[in-house]
Structures are given as structure tokens and as C-alpha cells.
Amino acid sequence: MSRIAIFVVWVGPLPNGFSFWLDTARRQPFDLIFITDQPRPEGAGDVTWVPTTLAALREGLSRLIGYPVSLEYPYKLSEYRPFWGLLYQDLIEGYDYWGHTDLDMVFGDMTPFLEEALQGQPDKVFNRGHFGLFRNIPRVNEVCFPEAVERLRFVFQTQESCGFDEWLGIGRVAQKAGLKMYLEEIVADIRPNDYRFRCTAGAGNSYEHEVFLLENGELVRYYVTGGAVQAKRYAYIHFQKRRMSFPEHYDPGKTYQVGIGGIREIRAFGGTPAEVRRLDGRDYIHAFRRLVKRARIRLGLAPRSLNLYLSTLEYT
């Protein structure tokens, strides 16, 4: 398989469940590069760990892009994910691909998904901010220069998040540049505002009863349809904007449910419709909190995202 380096650029305390995330990430066919202001934690000895600060990142990105960029708070870092390959090109020498990922997720078995995705040597792989790859060649690494960085000054100079790391941003820049792309969905992307663990529309159909399990090193969604249990495997599961608890470490020999309230070890799953229904929880308090948060955003009482701004731009 191609050599892959994955960046995590993180400022501030590492999140709850980091050790569990790291256990699932270290089993994958890529090398991790952390750019962070946090000390190296126990168990991360094989991870490339590069110290930085938010101010240093802002200064480096401003030099790279060619004008002062906005980076006043860590959440804005996601905007700049397509630039990590240039900003830290010395760290990815010898790699075929580099990419980025996030920490509000856990991995199943990425190997078969990446083997299929990279067969045709695409230039850009996937359209999600929580996991994406770029072919490590100058034409791809420099795809935003010079036109996109000039055209999208507002994106990089506003304090608000515009979602440039996803389809409406770098995805359309890559499309206009004629990059060869592989865009099959491999993620169980959980709806952030729902009272259940259900996939977003782009990640697959939802069912009346379904459950997500880590078992035998794989991430599997079991769902009931037509009175029978069906299974679908994913590369990873993304559970943004949820309060989650985690075991201290991940053991691939055990079975875990990824669901309401967090990740918990369960007994071996028997695969019956009754078991799926029993494990398929509800969290109406979470849904209410998200409803209140969205109301605060609409009233101007909480930071807003400007993702829709990118949809107003013409790229062709």
C-alpha cells in the first residue's frame, strides 16, 4: 500500500477519550503527525510530535498564503487543513499521500477502504474534513495557489468557520483544477442534532433500529430491515458535538457499542433484531441542547458557521 502520513493539528487540551482514539488510530495503515501545544502523552511514543502555538501557526500560514490570516481560536484550524502538506512539507518527504483527521471519531479497519480508494492513484481522496487525503506531489499540494487564496480572502480572514476543508471549499477548488478524485463515502457520519445515532444523508440510509459496534477490529452498523438484521462496515465513525465517555483503552478482542452517551464494552453481539432494538438508545436531552444552541446562533448569541458562504461562489 502507499505510504500515508496523517496530520492532526490541535491547540488546547486533548479531548476526553484521546487514549481510546489513539489506540484505534495506531492500528491503521498510516503514520500520525501531531502539531500541537500539548505535551506528548503516555503511549504516543511512535507518533511524530511537533510543538507549536496558535500564534506560530497563524504566522506560518500567513507567510504561506501571502497575507494575514485569521486564526484567533483553535476551531478555525480546520479551515487550513488543505495547507498542511505545504506548511510541513519537510515532515512528509517520502510519503505518497498526506492527509488530515479529527479527534471526535474512532477508527474501525481502514485498510480495505484505503486499498480500494488508492488503486487508481487519485489526487484527492474523500470530501470530509474529518478524514481526507492528498497525493503528495506539487501540483496537488499547491492546488490553492495562486487563484483560490486570492479569490477566497474572506474565508481566510474572517474569524468564522467557513468549512473550506470540505466539499464546498477545497473539493470545488480541486474539481476546477481537474484533479482526479475518489469520493466514495466510507464514514458512519452521525447526525449532530439527532436524539439517536443515525447517519447523515450522505453516509447512508437510516433505519428505525440500528446500532454501531466495534468488533474484531472493525466498525459495523447492524440494522433491522424486513424483520432481519443486516450489516454494513465502515472505516470510521464520526460523532461530532456529542458528550461522550470512553474506556481508558481499546482492545480489538472486545466488542464495544458506539452510541448514546459514549463508547462502552458489551458482551458478544448475537445479531438478533431484539438485540439491535435493545441497544438502540435515545437521548432527548442532547436533542434539546442542540435545539437551544441553534436558536442561540440564529439570535446572534453564539458563534455561527459561514459554510453556506462557499456555496454562493462560482468556481467554474
* CA distance to 108, 123, 130, 135, 143, per residue, from 175 (Å): 29, 11, 19, 14, 10
What span, in angstroms and rounded, lies between the C-alpha atoms of 114 and 93? 20
Which pLDDT belongs to residue 316? 40
| pLDDT score for 304 | 60
| pLDDT for res 314 | 55
Q: What pairing do the DSSP bridges indicate for beta strands 255-259 and 124-128?
A: unpaired
Entry pTM: 0.92
| Banded pLDDT at 287 (limits 50, 70, 90) | confident
pLDDT at 307 over 70: no
**Which range (95-109, 112-126, 133-147, 292-306) has the least confidence?**
292-306
C-alpha cell at 94: 517520502
Please state the domain extents for the chain.
Answer: 4-186+303-311, 187-286
Q: pLDDT value at position 81?
A: 98
CB 10 within 8 A of CB 74: yes
Q: Say how far apart CA 215 and CA 232 lie, in whole Å.
A: 12
Position 308 pLDDT exceeds 80: no
Name the architecture of domain 4-186+303-311: Alpha-Beta Complex (3.90)
- The C-alpha cell 445479531 sits at 271
> How large is the average pLDDT for residues 37-51?
95
Q: What is the mean pLDDT of residues 267-279?
A: 92
The kind and range of the H/E element at 9 are strand 4-10
Q: Could you tell me the pLDDT band of residue 315, with boundaries at 50, 70 and 90?
A: very low
Q: What are phi and psi of 231, to 5 degrees?
A: -130, 145
Residue among 241, 197, 243 at smallest CA distance from 223 = 197
| Alpha-helix residue ranges (DSSP H) falling in 219-301 | 273-279, 284-298
pLDDT band at residue 136 using 50, 70 and 90 as cut-offs:
very high
DSSP for 180-195, written as a single string:
-EE----EEEB-TT-S
The per-residue pLDDT for range 58-93, each reduced to its tens digit, is 999 999 999 999 999 999 999 999 999 999 999 999
- Which residues share a beta bridge with 133? 99, 125
Report the pLDDT value the prediction gives residue 153, as an integer from 0 to 100: 94
Rounded Cα–Cα distance for residues 6 and 97 (Å):
9
Q: Which range, of 43-47, 150-154, 265-269, 295-299, averages the lowest pLDDT?
A: 295-299
Contact 292, 299 (CB under 8 A): no
End-to-end CA distance of the chain: 34
Which pLDDT value is given to residue 294? 75
Three-class SS state of 212? strand
Q: Is 37 left (phi over 0), alpha (psi -120 to 50) or beta?
A: alpha
The greatest distance separating any two alpha carbons of the chain, rounded to the nearest whole angstrom, comes to: 59
Contact in structure between 104 and 188 (CB atoms under 8 Å):
no
